[in-house]
Amino acid sequence: MTWRTVLALAVFVGVCGFIAYFGDLIGRRMGKRRLSLFGLRPRYTAIVSTTITGMLIAIFTIGFMAGVSSQIRTLMLQGEQILRERKAILQEYHDTKIAAKMLAQELLRQESITAKARSESTKAIHQRDILANDIAKLTSELSRLKSDLKRNQAELAKAESQTAIAKGDLASAKKEITYRRMQIAKQRSSIDRLTAQRSRLAKLFVEEMGEAASKWPMYIALREGKIIFRSNEEIARGEIRCNLPKSEIRSRVMAIYDKADQLARDKGAVNGDNRHTIQIMPKKVESDQPNSGRFLKESESVDAIVDQISSSAGSVVVRIVTVGNSVEKEQSLVEFQLYYNRRIYAPRDEVAATVIDGRGTRGQILESLVIFLRRDVRPSAIKAGIIPTFDQDGQPSVGQIAWDNLFDLADQIKSTGKLVRVKAVSTSETWSVGPLGLDLTMSDSK
């Protein structure tokens, strides 16, 4: 409890006591004077006057406290809405804790699968290297045997020609021819055997690689594919009011889903079993039985999101973000994130302020403005509740401002030649969904 609250309660108690005392004082005086109002008896006249006076004092007190304290004014005007929003935020917090627990369990399971995939891939690569080495040896041996075969065939042809010329040494020539033919037959047999063995090893090599690729496609893709979305990267977002009919809420949720699906397709993702390039990460629903449960279907996940939105108050920001890295020619795994959409800035509200030296160069002043936007304005807006977007490098953004405006402001600061105070204010009413419109103003530094 803050000192402002304690002071407000003390003033309220004091005013109540004053009302009671003043009302009693007026009643006694009117009773003694025996005044009459509208023909009423003095007793009833005193009661009516005392009641009206107490009501007027109470109205004046409430108006005075509402005018002095903005918190009391907000409580009187938006108290019921604040309670509803508090209930919705508590429910969102509870759901987020449950989702975080389930995600942590899923992460452990995915890490276990990844470790197993890495081990199997290492084994497959080792086996591939062994088979490739054996195939290379067999190919070398086949080349040598084929070379010997050609040499023996040449020797046979030479022996046969010598037989035709030197008939006197016919027995020796026939013996040489027989020997060469036996060598040729033996070498052909070896070639056939080694060729069959190499074919067998090549088939085994293909089967080994094919099995590894079919069992662990995501792991191989992550090693070799181009990453199109990084982990926890936003693909699409939208705002949905919670008081809409459920059918309309579902339609708008699916519109955001289709938008993310098209963007993933444009980036290089492919359709999966659900005929979309994205798939909602399945969440496990525990049953009463220990070590049992089931994973929600995608349609059931959408139903749960629609129910959560319709049970909230105001409006929510729906974000679709990736779960882990996504690569080309793979389906992207995503999840829905819901945020309560509240008003962050009214028009001309101050976001952040700084002091810049107008005696520096134009480049130094411009650099100071850029640093101010990055180090002061952006963190302040995010801390206030604006949901940022992220670029391909993972840098957050809450809005944009034209470079021409920065150049003009740098010239204005330079023309003063002294220290000035630069303030960033919102150009319009800004909600959590963003983006933030900015206007930079300059004033004398005090």
- What is the mean pLDDT for each group of 10 consecutive residues in the chain (446 residues)? 66 72 69 65 72 76 72 72 76 73 72 70 65 64 68 66 53 65 70 65 54 46 68 88 92 94 92 89 69 75 90 88 85 89 89 90 89 91 87 76 86 90 91 88 81
CA-nearest of 387, 344, 380 to 238 is: 387
Give the whole-angstrom CA distance, residue 372 versus residue 356: 9
155 Cβ contact list (under 8 Å, min separation 6): 176, 180
Predicted TM-score (pTM) of this structure: 0.47
What does DSSP say about strands 234-241 and 332-341: parallel, antiparallel, or unpaired?
unpaired
Give the whole-angstrom CA distance, residue 417 versus residue 217: 63
CA-nearest of 181, 212, 23 to 117 is: 212
Q: Are 76 and 63 in contact (CB under 8 A)?
A: no
Query: Contacts from 405-414 at CB under 8 Å and sequence distance 24+?
Result: 405/440, 406/366, 406/369, 406/370, 406/440, 407/366, 409/369, 409/440, 409/442, 410/362, 410/365, 410/366, 410/369, 411/362, 412/442, 413/356, 413/358, 413/365, 413/442, 414/358, 414/360, 414/361, 414/362, 414/365
pLDDT given at position 173: 59
CA-nearest of 324, 226, 231, 330 to 271 is: 330
Question: How far is CA 191 from each of CA 138, 140, 146, 203, 283, rounded to the nearest angstrom?
Answer: 10, 11, 7, 18, 59
pLDDT given at position 146: 66
pLDDT given at position 225: 64
pLDDT given at position 220: 47
Give the whole-angstrom CA distance, residue 45 versus residue 393: 79
377-388 burial string, b = 16+ CB within 10 Å, else e? Answer: bbebbbebbbbb
What strands lie across the sheet with 438-444, from one edge to the other?
350-357, 419-426, 438-444
